[in-house]
A and B are shown apart, each in its own frame.
Chain A
């Protein structure tokens, strides 16, 4: 049996497994239904400020297992639903970022930089259309790469990345993000260091929880979701409400952005953003194919590269459509390529991929690893059939994205009609409730509020929150990689400089900081 036989079997399974209904004489398989439900649900979740795809996946995985069970038959419906959520939430995530300046996940943070200024100029509709077009394009490109290169790429990459290279690569990403985002390199680096410090509280290898001040509250480490959502969402809610409070005191009214600008997506617009979409789709796909590096980095790199390329009349950060396009194409392009390390090595690159691995771990019949793409003469490799079934589900979700996705996503834009001073307090309660639902103790609410205050102060003192969030997420990975590299090399103090690749990464990290520090200093 050749590869093409497996591809065909995968496609057939997706469209024929256990039909549940008939539409116009065509049987609708359970897998198709689950992808559609997941995709539409994902858009709603992504478009709701304060919610994101990972949260929806976390809630739905146990429910799906209860419904479908653990047999191999459950694999494609469950994974199809998860993939639907993943893709829907990526597209939908642009909605709150553009309309309210409140990104649901760190991935869409860079979308706010130009998306929200466009809304203030009255071009919310255009911003949403550009986000959808770029997101769907990046997604398509990535899926094509996945379909053609999956088996070969991941194994090649993994061969070249050992512990020291992984540690050096994380250092490079952090240096890059700190230096590029925000208006001062040193502020960016301080924010990143602070984020790392917060991540070190209560963690570590000792049985004594370090820096926990003897409290039970800090002993388990600060919960990721409380810190990240506190800084990203509550910080923005506090700052935005204060702005409106000041405006009301000064003028006795609160202005709402008009919708009078040019809101169409014209051929001219597409021509203008196309180079940025292409560049970002490539970056996102490459980053996605690297094991263990997330979509947030892809979005940041896409945006930063776009800013270098850009020579238009509207600069990045003041409502340039190219900025929205560069970010959305990059973060969407991660999704497909990310399945390369997931399926062939079982190593996730972002939170969404973690849930796909958890699902395959719980349901029998699919074991992510090199065996997935192994061909045996005269035999069907059922794991490869599942893998290609999964790819088919992704392409199908992508078609949904092009057809109904844009319309459905823009219909979520109705939320812009709600006055912001009414909506943001609801977002506050929604976020606190979502956090409590995941960690049911009042303490997690207090921690979230504290980090909301931190996020507010950072905004008021002009510190960028992105380096803080990324450093917080990557800090423990970095510490683990460094410790593991040190142990694995038998306590070589120069382990970070043990191979040309890691020396290259470290040198690049220093160069990035020096370059941007000098560039900014001269302004």
Chain B
């Protein structure tokens, strides 16, 4: 069997990342050095652990590359362009679901206020029924229903119903028994 170029790619990427970390990231973003002497005492600094690990990564990446080339066993990796197509679709569903989750509640409250409702800000209503459930229910339904639709490659009434029921059941599971737990997005308000 021929060796798999993906393993060499991973090894090269890891080694590059580790070298960048050693050369730039650690010096720029860690306050103390590898070993520090202060108060006439020598202690290990914050840079020691990431430095040792990054050096280890370079070594392990080199050994991985060497063993792949020598053994030519094939890595068994299954990442290909179909994977990218799937991940792109799935990511789109998650993005839409989370956007609805975050913004539905505040948008509805703003709309009611604009129409003369004067019910107060979403921040003040984030623990009030029904406003606190709006984003989670809609976003959760889209997330679950959308994900099933991507895999089954069709959107049936049953799929949509699964999404609605899942969001409703999870709302009940987390919100009803536990007074202090917050559903998304109410902790960010």
Instruction: Answer yes or no: A and B touching, Cβ < 8 Å.
Output: yes
The reply to whether B178 and A442 form a contact with Cβ atoms under 8 Å apart is: no
- Among A238, A244, A436, which residue has its beta carbon within 8 angstroms of that of B87? A238
Bound state CA distance, A460 and B46, in angstroms?
Answer: 34
The answer to whether the Cβ of B123 comes within 8 Å of any Cβ in the partner chain is: no
- Among A190, A487, A523, which residue has its beta carbon within 8 angstroms of that of B57? A190
- Chain A interface helix/strand/loop/mixed: helix
The reply to whether B87 and A186 form a contact with Cβ atoms under 8 Å apart is: no
The residue of chain A having its C-beta at the shortest distance from the C-beta of B165 within the complex is: A426
Contact bitstring A188-210, B, C-beta under 8 A = 1, else 0: 01100110110010001111101
The answer to whether the Cβ of B162 comes within 8 Å of any Cβ in the partner chain is: yes
The answer to whether the Cβ of A147 comes within 8 Å of any Cβ in the partner chain is: no
Bound state CA distance, A246 and B46, in angstroms?
Answer: 46
User: How far in angstroms is the closest Cβ of chain B from A210?
Assistant: 4
- Can you list 13 pairs linking A and B with CB atoms under 8 Å apart? A186-B64, A186-B67, A189-B60, A193-B56, A208-B30, A241-B86, A429-B140, A440-B181, A442-B102, A460-B83, A482-B48, A521-B70, A523-B73
Bound state CA distance, A487 and B60, in angstroms?
Answer: 29
User: How far in angstroms is the closest Cβ of chain A from B46?
Assistant: 4
Residues of A with C-beta under 8 A to B90:
238, 241-242
- Among B26, B71, B184, which residue has its beta carbon within 8 angstroms of that of A436? B184
With contacts A190-B14, A193-B56, A248-B153 taken as known, whether A429 is within 8 angstroms of B50 at the C-beta atoms is: no
Bound state CA distance, A184 and B42, in angstroms?
Answer: 39
The answer to whether the Cβ of A430 comes within 8 Å of any Cβ in the partner chain is: yes
Chain A residues within 8 Å of B, Cβ to Cβ: 59, 62-63, 183-184, 186-187, 189-190, 193-194, 196-197, 200, 204-208, 210-214, 238, 241-242, 244-246, 248-249, 254, 421-422, 424-426, 428-430, 432-434, 436-437, 440-442, 445, 449, 453, 456-457, 460-462, 475, 479, 482-483, 486-487, 491, 517, 521, 523
The residue of chain B having its C-beta at the shortest distance from the C-beta of A452 within the complex is: B94
Contact bitstring B65-84, A, C-beta under 8 A = 1, else 0: 00100110101111100110
With contacts A208-B31, A244-B151 taken as known, whether A193 is within 8 angstroms of B57 at the C-beta atoms is: yes
Residues of B with C-beta under 8 A to A449:
94
- Among B73, B151, B185, which residue has its beta carbon within 8 angstroms of that of A442? B185
Chain B residues within 8 Å of A, Cβ to Cβ: 6-7, 10, 14, 21, 25-26, 29-32, 41-50, 53-54, 56-57, 60-61, 63-64, 67, 70-71, 73, 75-79, 82-83, 86-87, 90, 94, 98, 102, 136, 140, 143-145, 147-148, 150-153, 159, 162, 166-167, 170, 174, 178, 180-188
Bound state CA distance, A429 and B140, in angstroms?
Answer: 7
- Among B29, B83, B98, which residue has its beta carbon within 8 angstroms of that of A213? B29
The reply to whether A184 and B64 form a contact with Cβ atoms under 8 Å apart is: yes
10 additional A-B pairs beyond A242-B86, A422-B162, A486-B44, beta carbons within 8 Å, are A200-B53, A206-B31, A207-B31, A210-B47, A422-B148, A437-B183, A461-B7, A462-B75, A482-B49, A491-B41
Residues of B with C-beta under 8 A to A424:
147
User: How far in angstroms is the closest Cβ of chain A from B7?
Assistant: 8
Bound state CA distance, A236 and B42, in angstroms?
Answer: 45
The reply to whether B25 and A441 form a contact with Cβ atoms under 8 Å apart is: no
With contacts A186-B67, A200-B49, A238-B87 taken as known, whether A425 is within 8 angstroms of B98 at the C-beta atoms is: no
The reply to whether B76 and A462 form a contact with Cβ atoms under 8 Å apart is: yes
Bound state CA distance, A457 and B21, in angstroms?
Answer: 21
With contacts A210-B30, A211-B30, A486-B43 taken as known, whether A436 is within 8 angstroms of B182 at the C-beta atoms is: yes
User: How far in angstroms is the closest Cβ of chain A from B48?
Assistant: 8
Bound state CA distance, A189 and B94, in angstroms?
Answer: 32
The reply to whether B41 and A428 form a contact with Cβ atoms under 8 Å apart is: no
The reply to whether B79 and A461 form a contact with Cβ atoms under 8 Å apart is: yes
The reply to whether B98 and A445 form a contact with Cβ atoms under 8 Å apart is: yes
The reply to whether A211 and B29 form a contact with Cβ atoms under 8 Å apart is: yes
The residue of chain A having its C-beta at the shortest distance from the C-beta of B144 within the complex is: A425
Top 8 A-B residue pairs of the complex, sorted by shortest distance between their CB atoms: A440-B187, A425-B147, A204-B46, A186-B64, A491-B42, A208-B31, A460-B79, A440-B182
User: How far in angstroms is the closest Cβ of chain B from A227?
Assistant: 16
- Among A197, A429, A445, which residue has its beta carbon within 8 angstroms of that of B144? A429
The residue of chain B having its C-beta at the shortest distance from the C-beta of A428 within the complex is: B147
User: How far in angstroms is the closest Cβ of chain A from B87?
Assistant: 7
The reply to whether B26 and A211 form a contact with Cβ atoms under 8 Å apart is: yes
The residue of chain A having its C-beta at the shortest distance from the C-beta of B171 within the complex is: A433
Bound state CA distance, A462 and B71, in angstroms?
Answer: 16
Bound state CA distance, A30 and B144, in angstroms?
Answer: 41
The reply to whether B79 and A190 form a contact with Cβ atoms under 8 Å apart is: no
With contacts A196-B49, A206-B31, A238-B87 taken as known, whether A184 is within 8 angstroms of B147 at the C-beta atoms is: no
Residues of B with C-beta under 8 A to A204:
30, 46, 49
With contacts A184-B64, A440-B182 taken as known, whether A461 is within 8 angstroms of B10 at the C-beta atoms is: yes
Bound state CA distance, A184 and B136, in angstroms?
Answer: 42
- Among A187, A245, A437, A479, which residue has its beta carbon within 8 angstroms of that of B49? A479
The residue of chain B having its C-beta at the shortest distance from the C-beta of A461 within the complex is: B77
